[in-house]
Structure 1
Amino acid sequence: MRFEGKRVVITGGASGIGRATAEAFIAEGAQVMMGDLNAEAGDAMAADTRFDNRLAFQKTDVCEVGEIKDLLDSAAGHFGGIDILFNNAGAGGAPERIDEMTAEGWDSTMNLLLRSVAMGTRYAVDHMKKAGGGVIVNTSSINAHEAGWGPVAYATAKAGVRHLSKLSAAQLAVHNIRVNSISPGFIMTNIFADSRKDEPEEARKIDEAIHAFSPMAQPVARSGMPEDIAQAVLYLSSDQGGFVSGIDLTVDGGITVGHRHSWDPDTPGLLDLIQAQADGEA
């Protein structure tokens, strides 16, 4: 019960990583205010007797700054304050390459994935100061580390989240507020499939491809699950993580450790290919 008496706000909490994290916090004693656009799923969670009235829900569009502030103010009013904020809401955003990008697609992605984190932090701090401190955890992505894992607008926004978290950690330390980010790898959350809701068959294929690809693409030979990220969030939010601030915690099954040959002995590396070429010419 590491979080007994703690008051937590989670955006994007009605599914995937957000839902798993809300459930994990509640299981360890916290009270959770959850914001999400999906009112049907959020209301159903809030009515679930398993959560013993520890979960409240407010429909929230994080692209609207006023709704972010309303969520945080409502949580502080409902619980008497805020101790922990998990800025998690997101989607795949604009799918276009940079040479096809529109200003509208770019701006909407930045508002959803980066501005929402900045404004969530901004308005949570007012309440955390009153509480004498707090913890903020932001969802970044392995897209923030290297190219090739997702759309360019999404990746750029997530890189911004990663750096914003570091800068926030520096500026908010004076208020006893720790800030960190987490970079998930391929997690079974439907984030990119959700961008194809108007094409159900295409969305299904994306889900199946990620599920099949993940175990073969990383040293940890299984799909990442929302619960894997939830446990990382709880660590960073807990007293056990009390000496940790300004970091990005990569939780990706090792997918970013290097090319496949760095961990799969049956896959030839560059030096192997060069030697084979040289032997062939000899």
Structure 2
Amino acid sequence: MAIIVTGSSGLLGSALVKALRADGIRVVRLVRRAPQGADESFWNPGKGLIDPAALRGAQAVVHLAGAGIGDRRWTDDVKRELVRSRVEGTRTLVRALTELPDRPPTLLSASAIGYYGDTGDREVDETAPPGEGFLAREVVVPWEAETAPAEEAGIRVARLRTGLVLSGEGGMLAKILPIFKLGLGAPLGSGEQYWSWISIDDWVHAVLRILNGPEISGPVNLTAPRPVTNAEFTRTLGKALHRPTMPLAVPGFALRTAIGGFAEEGVLTGQRVLPRRLLESGHTFRHTCLSEALAAVL
């Protein structure tokens, strides 16, 4: 039996595949190019194409595919792609799963804490309703809704609401490291917005726990138990790199001018998110303190 993974070439997917294979688990990667071996199978979610044989009898499916949220300015075309890549990909996969006579018992489907919108300093867990804004209402809500037919077909579904993943090899941290190494790191906007983070090791560890925890289903926040404000994140990263940080914050208007809509919803707003479902399941985080997590990933 195998675990099927989409989005396996991304930061999260590649780390998960490595960990699964290290545990001796066979992994089949769904790819959008010609397969290069027995551990790959072609799919084209935009055209609804997928080989059911690749899914048949699988132990579980981990669906991580989707266009990068913060890679480009949010033009109208980019926003459509952000929605389409998630909704169509999930729809194609779920449709194929529900049509199988021997369905995989488990589906872990990527999601994001953008679901909660701007929570200010209010703590939220998986029971909170969706917030407002493009990410919450137009991306995450319809994205998660596409998994409903799998649940109705008797598949255990966990929606992985992931926060800011800390890794020196990619993601937001890798993008801002050069600036901080020059001693030019600074708070963004008010600096009071909460950033809910998780180390890459803890993200993989949590996903493995969910795969092996039949009692865990529904939305699951993949964030460390101690979110921090952007100002605290800035200070802590500066200390981790032994570099000073700038006393003045980068104004919100400057960020909006530089990176457009992503600044408003991905940088200047915040979510103070708690991983209630993981903690109640008895899951233990390796890194609960930001300074320890940064030391590990750097």
Same fold (TM over 0.5): yes
In the TM superposition, residue 33 of structure 1 has moved relative to its aligned partner by: 0.8
Partner residue in 1 for 2:68: 92
Letter in 2 for 1:110: V
| Aligned equivalent of 1:243 | 215
- Sort the Cα spacing of 1:108 and 1:159 in 2 relative to 1 into closer, same or farther, 3 A: same
Output the CA distance in 1 between the equivalents of 2:179 and 2:97: 38
The answer to whether residue 93 in structure 2 is matched with residue 120 in structure 1 is: yes
> C-alpha displacement at 1:168, in angstroms?
3.8
Say if 1:60 and 1:256 are closer, same or farther in 2 by CA, change over 3 A. farther
What pairs up with 1:178-189 in 2 under 5 angstroms? 178-187=156-165, 188=167
TM-score w.r.t. length of structure 1: 0.58
Cα drift, residue 36 of structure 1: 3.6
The Cα offsets for residues 174-200 of structure 1, whole Å up to 9 and x where unpaired, read as xxx10111111111374579xxxxxxx
- What is the identity, as a one-letter code, of the residue corresponding to 2:67? A
In the TM superposition, residue 145 of structure 1 has moved relative to its aligned partner by 1.6
Structure 1 pair 23–185 and aligned structure 2 pair: CA distance change class (3 A): same
* 1:157 aligned residue: 139
Alignment of 1:254-265 (within 5 A): 254=225
1:200 matched to which residue of 2?
none
Give the letter aligned to residue 84 of structure 2: N
Give the alignment partner of residue 140 of structure 1, picking from 103, 108, 111. Answer: 111
Give the corresponding residue for 2:248: none
Aligned length: 209
Partner of 2:200: 226
Q: Aligned equivalents of 1:210 and 1:122: distance in 2? A: 45
Please give the root-mean-square deviation of Cα atoms over the aligned residues, in Å: 4.1
Q: Deviations over 1:76-108 (max 9, x none)?
A: 4xxx622311110123258556xxx52x43332
Asked if the contact 1:87/1:139 (under 8 Å) is kept, the reply is: yes
Mark the runs of 5 or more structure 1 residues left unpaired by the alignment.
Answer: 1-5, 47-54, 194-203, 262-282
Larger radius of gyration: 1
Residue of structure 2 in register with 1:63 after alignment: 46
Question: Structure 1 residues 153 and 225, CA, compared in 2 at 3 Å: closer, same or farther?
Answer: same
Provide the C-alpha distance between the structure 2 equivalents of 1:153 and 1:36, rounded to a whole number of angstroms.
Answer: 28
Give the direction of change, closer, same or farther, for the CA distance of 1:16–1:65 in structure 2 (3 Å limit).
same
2:59 is matched with which residue? Answer: 83
The question of whether the paired residues in 2 share the 8 Å contact of 1:161 and 1:181 is answered with: no
CA shift digits 1:227-251 (9 cap, x unpaired): 322222222222xx21233x21111
Unaligned runs of 5+ in 2: 121-132, 233-298
Structure 1 counterpart of 2:46, which letter? Answer: C
The 2-side partners of 1:59 and 1:75 are apart by 9
Q: Is residue 23 from structure 1 mapped to residue 18 from structure 2 by the alignment?
A: yes
Structure 2 distance, partners of 1:106, 1:13, is: 22
Equivalent residue of 1:147, what SS?
coil
In the TM superposition, what is the alpha-carbon distance from 1:9 to its structure 2 partner? 0.9
Deviations 1:47-75 (A, max 9, x none): xxxxxxxx712455543421xx13xx252
Query: Is structure 2 residue 35 aligned with structure 1 residue 32?
Result: no
Letter in 2 for 1:35: L
Describe the shift of the 1:14–1:74 C-alpha distance in structure 2 as closer, same or farther (beyond 3 A).
farther
Q: 2:144 and 2:227 mapped to 1: Cα distance?
A: 16
Distance 1:117 1:136, change over 3 A: same
Percent of aligned pairs with the same residue? 16
Relative distance call for 1:81 and 1:210 in structure 2 (3 A) is: farther
Question: In 1, Cα distance between the equivalents of 2:15 and 2:177?
Answer: 18
Q: 1:172 aligns to what?
A: 153
Contact 2:97 2:150 in 1 (8 A): no
Residue aligned with 2:94, SS: helix
Q: How many angstroms does 1:208 deviate by?
A: 5.0
My pick for the range that moved more, 26-35 or 133-142, is: 26-35
Deviation at 1:28, TM superposition (A): 2.9
- What is the SS of the residue equivalent to 1:35? strand
Alpha-carbon contact 1:93-1:108 (below 8 Å) kept = no
Residues 10 and 86 of structure 1 are in contact (CA less than 8 Å); yes or no, is this contact kept in structure 2?
Answer: yes
Partner of 1:52: none
- Aligned mates of 2:29, 2:140 — CA distance in 1: 22
